[in-house]
Structure 1
Amino acid sequence: MKRFQPQPGFVVQAYRFALDPNAAQEAALRSHCGAARAAYNWAVAWVTASWWQRKAEESYGVGEAQLTGWRPWSLPALRKAFNAAKHTDPRFVDWWEENSKEAYSTGLSNAAAAFDNYAKSKQGKRRGKRVGAPRFKSKRKARLSCRFTTGTIRVEPDGRHVTLPRLGTIRTHEPAVKLLSRVQAGTARVLSATVRYERGRWFVAFQVEVKRDIERVRRPDAAIGIDLGVKTLAVMADSTGEIRTVPNPKHLDGAMKRLRRASRVVSRRRGPDRRTGQQPSRRWEKANTHRNRVHHRVANLRADALHKLTTAVAAEYATVVVEDLNVAGMLRNRRLARRIADAGFGEIRRQLTYKTRRNGTRTVVADRWFPSSKTCSGCGVVKAKLPLHVRTYHCDACGLVLDRDDNAARNLAALAAVSTTGTGVAGDRDAQRVSKPRGADQKTRTTRRDHKATAERAGGATLPHQRQTETRDRTHPEALTLW
């Protein structure tokens, strides 16, 4: 599907509202989401059938020219094949007319995107973790979601109802006047709508093309470095040296007592059992709903706090410097995994990226191996080692004594000057990346040469005040390392 390109002066953003459907409307919503899942599974089975057929023919010695042809997985090809199969396939023939065509198109487009990601990952053209072949979606675990791109998609004039194809008019839990006023004024145009069930409630998200003027930030010449942590959520240092600390609200820790109590109640009720076909009791369903309500409240509180933090930062500074944290690796630490997940490091970076782009500013991403905590923010000397339990930074060269997180935030803020001059920046328009050789724990000549070459390729991305000193490893005196 061709990606939508907004007009000059317009941006594409989402307006999300909670829904209050009645029993019939909720059944229709679940039917549409189930149809999207069924279409996705059909597309996966239809494409992979040719793979298994070719593999079986090759085992029988069939030549390459006589093998069964590959089935395409482009969205137009999947739509054409599905429209021909839905009239005869016993999985769809009795009920496919009950749902909008957009429900099936949602599943087919998701399948086409999944096969594209798999092919690009197989060919080495996709960044990130390797993507496997698409698998079937379970009815029990699949997320309920459906997207509408054609038909009647609008907010009703009263601002309390929305209309979607085949679903009709559904009441919203909250007023939608913010989107309605923009549509009536001619400064917004609805492109699509996506319904989703999450956190115990149905939501509708409108993808809207909005005319939005770039808002000037309050400090257009200032930059800020943000060091994220668990004990303190964020330590922020601006280019003038001012340091601000954002405490970690720890929403999950505050709800653990209620969550444990609710979980004990659930465990004492008769729950479902797939092995024996046992159905849950009404008391189990009530207890499970109460437990889920605790989880949903924690998630809502976390999302609200992160949005307030990132909005305030993006509205004040022209340059925001954050670290490229290995959150997936940090979550493997069983002692800190729960608190790291509760902090939402990845969500903070994601929100800062699109909010700074929306304000006409930028987000600079420091390299994952940049020694922000080991570098002295005063003279630039880098320590060889700085264990995590050492929370105060002592510089042996200039005598600077500073909190570890405050020192890291100042070094991140100093990277804004490097990215401004273009030194060591290798990023895109949305999030620039400043790279720095690791050079902190590797102590061999080969590693030193590799890091030196990396620094040369990156344009020598060091801080303006940073200087390197030569040290010898005590255990291997012959290994000379540049720190």
Structure 2
Amino acid sequence: MIKSIKVRLCPNNKQLTKLFQYAGCARFAYNWAIAREQENYKQGNKFLSDNELRKEFTQLKKQSEYQWLSEVSNNVTKQAIKDACNTYKKFFKGQCKYPKFKSRKHSSPSFYQDNIKIQFSDTHVKVEGFSMSKKKNKQKLNWIRLCEKGRIPTNCKYMNPRFTYDELHWYISVGIEVEDSTTIPLNNGIGIDLGIKDLAVCSDGNIYKNINKTTTVNKLEKRKRRLQRSISRRYEKNKKGGIYCKTCNIIKKEKELLKVTKRLTNIRQNYLHQTTSEIIKRKPSFICIEDLNVSGMMKNKHLSKAVQQQCFYEFRKQMEYKSAWNNIPVIIADRFFPSSKLCSCCESIKKDLKLSDRIYKCECGNVIDRDYQASLNLKMYGENVLKQQSVA
């Protein structure tokens, strides 16, 4: 099993310059490879492999106008060309859209490091080629400080190390191979009903509230709206003809808005991680969740923002990979399974149940919260699926 770890970096000014230089060279190599493939296709030739393109790129670097490419580690540009060829292969297989050129303004800067030459200590990561000098004081430039101490283990094999920038901070992400879990959990299974009123209602009685209704998130959302209006007014004020001019004050305001948006994202992501980890720690024998039609739910103009803020897809993704780490099967209920409309006692379906009906009342006398009943029905669905698998 491969676990990926992502840690924020604390580079100094010289290291920041080098990081952006590496990312710029990776973007240039990627765009050059795509342009070369397009030119080759127009001429009616066969697809160029990454080995052929890398040989051409090596000859390109020897030209005087491209000498600046030699200041960057060779592995950075090689992997960028390989990534471009891989996107073309995925396009031919129908796994992605047609490859596009990376924009200097809109694409997020990132680059690859050689998994053999990269080194980690408890507090620092060594980047290849920042300083070629053998002097100790200049070798320090290669070592970038990590924000979290001892997060990435040392003296092990690393896979696909990548440096990425999210418009505020630089991060290092790396894959590490760990042993598969062999323990089989024997506790009762859990059905989880996701919703907007509460994030998740579990069949064992645990309820995880909606983090977006807290005062902290509401204050940040209000601040975000005010900053957006302020930036919009400044753009209109500095408009010259049909062109919008970006002033220094607008850049400051946009950076402030970016920090608020990032803060909101971090709060939601952290809450999702806490919720999913808490469910996994109870070690259920299985977990059953719904296959929600999120894209269809987003078409409802009254609920689209609330659905977007709940991050249902991220919740499901975290549950799946954390369950795989702990050897817990995840059962995805059919999209058309009537989890809320089905009575948990007599199994009759109430077809006229509205979204505003929060309490389920059945003719058999069953009166229960609709979300809790949905979680009980999902638990029963999971038990039936496991029985069928054991019989087969």
Shift of 1:253: 3.7
Question: Which residue does the alignment assign to 1:436?
Answer: none
Corresponding residue to 1:170 among 144, 150, 165? 144
1:206 matched to which residue of 2?
Answer: 174
Residue number in structure 2 paired with 1:299: 265
Structure 1 counterpart of 2:192, from 226, 233, 239: 226
Q: How far apart are the structure 2 equivalents of 1:84 and 1:227?
A: 58
Equivalent residue pairs, number: 376
Determine whether 1:145 maps to 2:110: yes
274 and 327 in structure 1: CA distance in 2 versus 1, 3 angstrom threshold = farther
Q: Does 1:179 align with 2:152?
A: yes
* Alignment map for 1:381-392 (pairs within 5 Å): 381-392=348-359
Among candidates 253, 260, 265, match of residue 287 of structure 1: 253
Could you tell me whether the CA contact under 8 Å between 1:192 and 1:208 is conserved in 2? no
Higher helix content, 1 or 2? 2
Match of 1:23 among 5, 8, 13: 13
- Show the counterpart of 1:106: 79
SS of aligned partner of 1:422: helix
C-alpha spacing 1:45/1:148, structure 2 compared with 1 (3 Å): same
3-state SS of 1:243 partner:
coil
Other-structure match for 2:58: 83
Identify the range of structure 1 (79-88 vs 242-251) with the bigger mean alpha-carbon deviation. Answer: 79-88
Q: CA deviation at 1:304?
A: 0.8
SS of residue matched to 2:337: coil
Q: Mark the runs of 5 or more structure 2 residues left unpaired by the alignment.
A: 131-141
CA distance in 1, matches of 2:179, 2:305: 40
Q: 1:442-457 counterparts in 2 under 5 A?
A: none
Aligned to 2:209: 247
Q: 1:133 to 1:274 in 2, by over 3 A?
A: farther
1:212-234: CA deviation from partner (whole Å, max 9, x where unpaired): 655665xx231111111111111
Q: Kindly, what percent of the aligned residue pairs are identical?
A: 30
- TM-score, length basis structure 1: 0.71
In 2: Cα distance, 1:109 partner to 1:274 partner: 44
Corresponding letter in the other structure for 1:36: A
The AA in structure 1 aligned to 2:305 is R
Q: Choose from 399, 402, 407 the match for 2:373.
A: 407
Cα separation, 2, equivalents of 1:386 and 1:225: 21
**Residue from 361, 372, 388 that aligns with 1:394:** 361
Q: Which of the numbers 73, 89, 94 marks the counterpart of 2:67?
A: 94
Conserved 8 A contact 2:115-2:161:
no
Letter in 2 for 1:31: Q
Following the alignment from structure 2 to structure 1, what is the Cα–Cα distance between the partners of residues 28 and 324? 37
CA contact (8 A) 1:189 1:209 kept: yes
The 1:28–1:274 alpha-carbon spacing in structure 2 relative to 1, beyond 3 Å, is: farther
The correspondence for 1:40, drawn from 30, 38, 45, is 30
Instruction: Tell me whether 1:363 sits opposite 2:330 in the alignment.
Output: yes
User: Aligned to 1:94, what secondary structure does the other structure show?
Assistant: helix
Q: CA–CA distance in 1 between the matches of 2:202 and 2:241?
A: 52
Letter matched to residue 125 of structure 2:
V
Identify the residue that residue 428 of structure 1 maps to in structure 2. none
Moved more, 372-381 or 354-363: 372-381
The AA in structure 1 aligned to 2:143 is T
Deviation at 1:300, TM superposition (A): 0.9
The one-character-per-residue Cα deviations of 1:130-169 (angstroms, maximum 9, x if unpaired) are: x33112121111111112134531223xx22211112311
**Does 1:421 find its partner at 2:390?**
no
Q: Report 1:463-474 matches (<5 A).
A: none
C-alpha distance in 1, partners of 2:373/2:319? Answer: 22
Q: Which has the higher contact order (CA 8 A, sep 6+)?
A: 2
Confirm or deny: 8 A CA contact 1:315 1:359 kept in the other structure: no
Whole-angstrom distance in 2 between the partners of 1:137 and 1:329: 31
SS of equivalent residue, structure 2 residue 229: helix
One-letter code of the match for 2:50? Answer: L
Task: Find out whether 1:264 has 2:233 as its counterpart.
Answer: no
Distance 1:385 1:33, change over 3 A: farther
Judge conservation of contact 1:20–1:173 (CA < 8 Å) in 2.
Answer: yes
Q: Distance in 2 between matches of 1:164 and 1:311?
A: 33
Indicate if the aligned counterparts of 1:270 and 1:280 stay in contact, CA closer than 8 A.
yes
2:158 to 190, 194, 198: 190
TM-score, normalised on structure 2?
0.86
Structure 1: which amino acid aligns with 2:89?
A: D
- The CA RMSD measured in Å over matched residues stands at 2.8
Further displaced range: 398-407 or 135-144: 398-407
Q: Distance in 1 between matches of 2:242 and 2:118?
A: 44
Where does structure 1 lack aligned partners over 5 or more consecutive residues? 1-10, 54-67, 426-458, 460-483
